[in-house]
Every structure is written in structure tokens, then in C-alpha cells.
A and B are shown apart, each in its own frame.
Chain A
Amino acid sequence: MKKEKSKKYRVLRRIWHSGEHRGVEPGEVVSLDHLNEKKIEFLVKSGVVEPVAEEVKDEPGASK
């Protein structure tokens, strides 16, 4: 059974989400899949976002 991991980040300071083309206010949880690891690491280190517990999603049609 193949599973897909989705990394999510809680926004701590208002951001312009260049992947979704919108402003995001602090508190919202977003995906940053459009950024590479280095850029995400920089945002985390700068206190702009923080990682939240990983969600594990079953692929459609996968047995439970």
C-alpha cells in the first residue's frame, strides 16, 4: 500500500503565497510544495512558518 506524505506549515507572519497567488494570515496551515527544501528551511529559521505534524494520506482506492 503506497502512501503519500503531505508536509504542512503553520504561518506565523503574514506571507504572500507565490504558489497560490494569495496573501495568507498568521495561523493558517499551508503547503509549501512550490518551494525547495532550502527556501522552506530559511522560512522556518526566520520564524515565518513552522512545521506542523505530518499528515499521512491514503491514496485513492488504497485498502484500509
Chain B
Amino acid sequence: MSQVPASDVVVQSEFAIEVSEDGTTWTDISGYANSVKPDGGERDTGALYTFDGDTAVVTAGKRKPQTIEMDIVYTEGANDITAMLQGWYENKTLVYLRYAPKGMTTGNWQFQGQGYVVSPIQPEGDATSSDAVLVTVKFVVSAMVQSVQA
């Protein structure tokens, strides 16, 4: 197979990330988010041996939940993302999260899930750094579903 056309390549820095409480009204947090890292979602498997043969009979089961970890720029405004995420964590609010590597535009892919903020939103510091303070937030969702925006 020939090399991927440059026009098809997606640049990491173009992600758009949005959150919502109702799945209808979305808050764009791309201007605060620094990174997004999905994890988990592995499908359980079974492995059973029979008296004949040398290898297992492998079967597929359910999928594990997913964790989406994001680094967010820490700010202290009452209506800022930091306060909103902390509120969701404290109140066990069921929320939606979605991100689109090429941006929120018709025809682009998006990955969306519904779940909870499971980590406290607390900043960490480094005396040698001049960078903005970040907070790490972890969402746990049943699954991040891929779809095309339409």
C-alpha cells in the first residue's frame, strides 16, 4: 500500500472537545483542554481447553468501561471549566463527553460517551515550570461510540 496522502493526515492539535449535561447543549472546552487520552474498553475473552488439541477455544465477551483522561488549563472563575468539572465530580452528575479529531464539522468523525467525572479536579505545581497550571480530569464512560457528524 502506498503512503497515506498528506491531505488525509489528521493533525493532533486540531481536536475539538465538548461536554454536555443533556446531550443537546454542548460546551466547547477545546480552548481549555491540552490533551485527551482514551484508555480501557478492552473486550473480555474466555479461553477454554478441550482434551483434544493443543490450543484454547477462545470466545469473546463484553467490553470493559473506558476512561478518558484530559489535561485542562486551571482557572478559578465561578463559571469556568475547572469549577464545572469539580461540580460534576462532587455531585455525581451524569454527563456527555465527545471529541472530534478533525473538529466539530459535518462529515467528521466524533467519539462520544456518557459517564461520570471520577477524579477530583486539583492542580499540581512545579517550581521550575513557567507553564500554565493544569488539572487532570478522568471521565469513566460505558463506551465511546464512534460516529460521523451529520
Contacts and interface: CB of A to CB of B under 8 A. Distances in A.
Interface of A: 13-18, 21-24, 32, 35, 39, 42-43, 46, 48-49
Q: Report the 10 A-B pairs with minimum CB-CB distance, sorted nearest first.
A: A15-B150, A39-B106, A16-B147, A14-B147, A21-B24, A15-B148, A48-B148, A42-B107, A15-B147, A16-B149
Contacts of B136: none
Interface string B119-150: 00000000000000000000000000111111
Contact of B106 (A21, A24, A35): A35
A15 B23 CA distance: 14
B112 interface: yes
Contacts of A17: 150
29 contacts: A13-B148, A14-B145, A14-B146, A15-B147, A15-B148, A15-B149, A16-B110, A16-B112, A16-B147, A16-B150, A17-B150, A18-B106, A18-B149, A18-B150, A21-B24, A23-B112, A23-B145, A24-B150, A32-B150, A35-B106, A35-B150, A39-B107, A42-B106, A42-B107, A43-B106, A43-B148, A46-B148, A48-B107, A48-B148
Contact of B23 (A21, A32, A49): A21
Contacts of B106: 18, 35, 39, 42-43
Given A16-B150, A35-B150, 8 more contacts: A14-B145, A14-B146, A14-B147, A15-B147, A16-B98, A17-B150, A18-B149, A22-B23
Contacts of B145: 14, 23
Interface of B: 23-24, 98, 106-107, 110, 112, 145-150
